[in-house]
Homo-oligomer: A and B are copies of this chain.
Amino acid sequence: MDTTDKSAASPSIASVGEFGLIDRMKRLLGTPETPDVVRGVGDDAAVVRIGGGRVHVVTTDGMIEDEHFDRAFMPMEYLGFKAMSVNVSDIVAMNACPRFAVIALGLPANTTIEAVDALYRGFRNAADAYGVTVVGGDTTKSRLLTLALTIIGEATEDEIVYRDGARPGDALCVTGNVGASKAGLRVLLRERDRLHAEGNSYHVDLDSIQYVVQRHLTPVARLQVIRDWKACGVRPSALVDISDGLASEIHHVCRSSGCGAVIHAASLPIARETRRVADQFSDDPHDYAFFGGEDYELVFTVARDDLDKLDPVSFTVLGEVTAGAGVVQVTPSGSLEPLDAGGWQHFA
């Protein structure tokens, strides 16, 4: 009866990768037939009509112990906050407002009540911060700590922004700064290794690296940015959040929109703390910025005419959308190079 244990006969999913898997899923599940589905599998979130010109926007994201976090250096309260932020970010990346959440938890039986309370406090803090109501959930035993959150957002149908709307001539922009989450992960892994090597006598000094660690452990979804856009009457032409990496998201937007882009690496917004960590490791901070991932900033394209309406401190223009395909970067030294997609690949 076993259909799974045939590794000799059938190749494993590692050979097709995450995106190959998503393509397969789309094919096997077929095209939605109901007219109420405006957008199904493929963008940051799905869009379904609820009547009166309004839509619900739905996203789900799982976080699994030892893949997405290490319980040893991820306080449970932060984990709850981050799980909510990651999902809210997908709703925000559709230019919609998060409304409701359901939470499916798998908890090891020896999890302490204290730890579960901390996890729920994290959910609660994030829910309050984003105006989300947790309306339901499911809690079950599991050998690994697992979280799967689903968030439902709301918008009018014409407010929704997809990743495929970029037009040649649009400015290509990013909110906040990038690469900080990767820098935070780097130092956390270093401190963990030192702690393992030197034992409990080792004192982890997080103060000097607080900013990047915080960006990694408790990222904040850019809900305020889309509220500001709405207030000033601007609607981007394309929009995604940075979960896998800035470069791979730019590639996504360009491929989906049937265009390309020129990016100026010198304009990458990288925090001073991020540069300092990169220096410590003799890493190139541009690599953190382009390929690090988990920044949960927004990448967006917008008509040049709208740029002046936006608050300039909230974003950086990285370059321009081009009619020709492909993404090229102007390196800090001034040469033109193709920009690698890079980015995090599950199963790779």
B133 touching A4 by the CB < 8 A rule?
Answer: no
Known contacts A12-B110, A115-B4, A143-B66; A136/B60 CB under 8 A: yes
Contact of A137 among B14, B50, B60, B123 (CB under 8 A): B60
1/0 per residue A95-114: CB within 8 Å of B? 00001101111110111111
A117 touching B7 by the CB < 8 A rule?
Answer: no
B71 touching A4 by the CB < 8 A rule?
Answer: yes
Contact of A141 among B61, B67, B114, B123 (CB under 8 A): B67
Known contacts A4-B115, A46-B102, A102-B150; A67/B140 CB under 8 A: yes
A21 to B138, CA, bound (A): 10
Interface presence of A322 (CB below 8 A): no
Interface presence of A281 (CB below 8 A): no
Q: Closest B-chain residue to A30, C-beta based? A: B124
A121 to B30, CA, bound (A): 11
Contact of A113 among B10, B45, B67 (CB under 8 A): B10
Tell me the chain A residues, 34-70 only, with Cβ under 8 Å from chain B: 34, 36-37, 39-41, 45-46, 48, 50-52, 54, 56, 58-62, 64, 66-68
A6 to chain B, nearest CB (A): 6
B10 touching A127 by the CB < 8 A rule?
Answer: no
A113 touching B15 by the CB < 8 A rule?
Answer: yes
Contact of A146 among B73, B142, B152 (CB under 8 A): B142
A78 to chain B, nearest CB (A): 9
Chain B CB count within 10 A is highest, among A51, A104, A144, A346, for A104
A15 to B16, CA, bound (A): 44
Known contacts A29-B127, A346-B141; A6/B59 CB under 8 A: no
Q: Closest B-chain residue to A40, C-beta based? A: B135
Interface of A is mostly: mixed
Copies in the complex: 2
Interface presence of A139 (CB below 8 A): yes
Chain B contacts of A202 at CB under 8 A? none
B3 touching A118 by the CB < 8 A rule?
Answer: yes
Could you list 11 examples of A-B contacts with CB < 8 Å? A3-B75, A10-B112, A12-B109, A14-B109, A32-B133, A48-B99, A48-B152, A60-B102, A64-B106, A64-B142, A150-B150
Q: Closest B-chain residue to A195, C-beta based? A: B1
B60 touching A16 by the CB < 8 A rule?
Answer: no
Q: Closest B-chain residue to A12, C-beta based? A: B110
Give the 7 A-B residue pairs with the shortest CB-CB distance, closest first: A148-B148, A46-B135, A10-B112, A10-B114, A150-B150, A104-B148, A62-B104
Interface presence of A157 (CB below 8 A): no
Chain B contacts of A10 at CB under 8 A? 112-115
Known contacts A37-B100, A106-B64, A346-B141; A4/B136 CB under 8 A: no
